[in-house]
Amino acid sequence: MTQELTPEEFLDTVLIPEKSSPHICWNCKHLKPVLQGSKFPPADIIGWCKKIHWPHYWSVADFNVVKKCYAFDARKKA
């Protein structure tokens, strides 16, 4: 029996991020990570928030210290 994946789970298996980080945004479902092999963003950018400053996404740098975010929605991991 094959496992049915949600759209978010499928994208997590196909779109591989360039790097991992202990940043709070890494556990948020609104983070759009920098994809592996991408040459565009600066080295310190881990991704963009799809909820803050829509439609102009908020860049998330690895060195920013974020302890709490009003837009945070935890990823659903079973």
What's the pLDDT band for 73 if we cut at 50, 70, 90? very high
pTM of the predicted model over 0.75 = no
For the stretch 51-65, pLDDT in tens is 887 666 678 888 877
For residue 77, with 0-12 CB atoms within 10 Å meaning exposed, 13-18 middle and 19 or more buried, which class applies? Answer: exposed
